[in-house]
Amino acid sequence: MKTIALIVPKGSKYGKNSLLKHFLEKSDVVSSFYGAWETPNLSLLTIAGVIPEQYHVEFIDEDHGMEIPFSRHFDIVALTGMTQQIYRAYEIAQEFKKRGSYIVLGGIHASVLPEEALEVFDTVFIGEGEITWPRFLQDLENGTPKYSYHSAKVIPLEQSPIPRYDLLDPSLYKSFSVQTTRGCPRTCNYCTLPIMFGSTYRHKTVPQVISEIEAIQKVNADAFVFFADDNMFIQKDYAKELVRQIAKLGITWGTQTDISVADDAELLELLYQSGCHWLFIGFENVSQTGLDFLDENKWKAKQLYHYESAIEKIHKSGINIWGSFLFGGDNDTFDVFENTLNFTLKNGIYSGSFTILTPLPGTQLFRQMSQAGRIIDYDWSRYTFWDVVFKPRHMSPDELAQGVAWVYDNFYSKENVANRTARQKSRMRQIHRREIQNAKPSSTKKIDS
């Protein structure tokens, strides 16, 4: 039987920014929040789902502590990786190539820079792999593998297989990801997701998603499910139907969405009832000019006026917000750090992700910055969102790195964590009182009188 190793290379978790690295690694609070992202790599598990049964497949996750078994022979070694993981992917591939394996690479970095990847790999996958992988295996069997396989059009997600969660060591993960939709119609200039999945929003069928969650429950009955969609609630009717069915499974879960989720009170109520604990929302910036820079269509900039009322609606529905903010845009001046911190504290944001704007290869931001000669570091291992790799317009690279570390330090100070926790508990008490009130039988009044 031919063997295939699917390998996730180790990433440089918090980058090389010593200020942030030190803080993030020593903070228990931060690591407990960030644990929610300790999910297995869904792309490789999905590819495993389209590999025919005649192959023996193993999933090796170096990014979550597994050793790479270099002494073993695999016929095919397949890697994936974000830009910051790519050098490690190259090292692993070279080792297996010396041992006679056929080595292939997929994922976002390979999709935007296939020529670079082909200097190391035998074959590169560009875009989604569900359709191209079976073709590649057939070609390899026939002795005619191509250098690259390009998924020319976006695949209908109903054809995507159930990811092979059964290949995992579940003890390595704090949550398990499911993807219900792909594509995002927004046009944020720093985002690679529309490059990989396109701007056409597609979704799996509701029974398909339920089957995937049940497959996770077979490997971990109490799994926290992270819906790893780019933006889960763009189609509200589909989202509501899905969430109604999720509610029957008794899981706890979180996901990524944009702020428009707050416009739909029925959806918020369904989310709470279905076990949704938090929503990761990309606010990115709290000023008009800051948001203007990040998207020429200005979708997020147009939402700024109701950021605060939207947060209040989400909180009132019983759901926590994990806010994401990006620093270093061309309109950011030094006050961006204090203004952002104040915004998060004032609005009781439960958890915060504060990152450094990073011009990832393939994005519009990368093109602009590189044409302007503003990229100061082409070392891909620093493209982590924790390191400064470009010249900011209104501050020095060091000031940007220090500013972000300052926000982290303050947002996660003991005092601020205690304040937020108290506010969150108080919100939940109010919600429980409301629930008890609503559950009172209508005859109670008669008895009382």
* Contact set for ligand SF4, span 4-33 (CB under 6 A): none
Q: Which helix (H) or strand (E) holds 185?
A: none
Q: Is 332 in the site for ligand SF4 (CB under 6 A)?
A: no
* Contact set for ligand SF4, span 282-301 (CB under 6 A): 282
Q: Is 193 in the site for ligand SF4 (CB under 6 A)?
A: yes
142-146: Cβ within 8 A, 24+ apart: 145/102
3-state secondary structure of 5: strand
Contact 377, 389 (CB under 8 A): yes
Only segment of 30-38, 48-56, 150-158, 187-195 that touches ligand SF4 (CB under 6 A): 187-195
Q: Angle 414-439/336-346 helices, nearest 10 degrees?
A: 30
Q: Is 184 in the site for ligand SF4 (CB under 6 A)?
A: yes
Q: Is 202 in the site for ligand SF4 (CB under 6 A)?
A: no
Cβ at position 233, least distance to ligand SF4 in Å:
12
* Percent helix, strand and coil across the chain, each to the nearest 5: 50, 15, 35
Nearer to ligand SF4, 110 or 193 (CB): 193
Nearer to ligand SF4, 16 or 186 (CB): 186
Burial class (CB in 10 A: 0-12, 13-18, 19+), 119: exposed
Burial 271-305 (b: 16+ CB within 10 A, else e): bbebbbbbbbbbbbbbbeebbbbbbeeebbbebbe
Contact 125, 132 (CB under 8 A): yes
Nearer to ligand SF4, 282 or 359 (CB): 282
Only segment of 7-15, 182-190, 315-323, 333-341 that touches ligand SF4 (CB under 6 A): 182-190
Q: Is 163 in the site for ligand SF4 (CB under 6 A)?
A: no
Signed CA dihedral, 22, 27, 30, 35: sign only: positive
Q: Helix/strand/coil (H, E, C) string of 375-430?
A: ECCCCHHHCCCCCCCECCCCCCHHHHHHHHHHHHHHHCCHHHHHHHHHHHHHHHHH
Q: What gap in Å lies between CA 173 and CA 177, rounded to an integer?
A: 10
Q: Is 258 in the site for ligand SF4 (CB under 6 A)?
A: yes
Q: Is 188 in the site for ligand SF4 (CB under 6 A)?
A: yes
Q: Is 231 in the site for ligand SF4 (CB under 6 A)?
A: yes
Q: Is 323 in the site for ligand SF4 (CB under 6 A)?
A: no
Q: Rounded to the nearest 5°, which phi and psi values hold at 389?
A: -115, 10
Query: Of residues 40, 49, 107, 194, which one binds ligand SF4 by CB under 6 A?
Result: 194
Nearer to ligand SF4, 212 or 258 (CB): 258
Burial class (CB in 10 A: 0-12, 13-18, 19+), 409: middle
Q: Is 310 in the site for ligand SF4 (CB under 6 A)?
A: no
Number of residues that bind ligand SF4 (CB under 6 A): 10
Cβ at position 184, least distance to ligand SF4 in Å:
3
Q: Rounded to the nearest 5°, which phi and psi values hold at 261?
A: -60, -30
Count the Cβ atoms, other than its own, within 10 Å of residue 266: 10
Nearer to ligand SF4, 230 or 387 (CB): 230
Query: Of residues 97, 146, 186, 240, which one binds ligand SF4 by CB under 6 A?
Result: 186
Cβ at position 191, least distance to ligand SF4 in Å:
3
Q: Rounded to the nearest 5°, which phi and psi values hold at 441?
A: -65, 150
Only segment of 97-105, 107-115, 183-191, 332-340 that touches ligand SF4 (CB under 6 A): 183-191
Both tokens assigned to 51: 């590999």
Only segment of 90-98, 139-147, 188-196, 247-255 that touches ligand SF4 (CB under 6 A): 188-196
Signed CA dihedral, 411, 415, 421, 422: sign only: negative
Cβ at position 42, least distance to ligand SF4 in Å:
16
Nearer to ligand SF4, 61 or 258 (CB): 258
Nearer to ligand SF4, 23 or 385 (CB): 385
Q: What gap in Å lies between CA 148 and CA 123, rounded to an integer?
A: 5
Interface map 77-116 toward ligand SF4 (x if CB under 6 A): ----------------------------------------
DSSP secondary structure, 241-283, as one string: HHHHHHGGGT-EEEEEE-GGGGG-HHHHHHHHHTTEEEEEEEE
Cβ at position 446, least distance to ligand SF4 in Å:
52
Nearer to ligand SF4, 165 or 322 (CB): 322
Q: Is 49 in the site for ligand SF4 (CB under 6 A)?
A: no
* Residues engaged in binding ligand SF4 (CB under 6 A): 184, 186, 188, 191, 193-194, 230-231, 258, 282
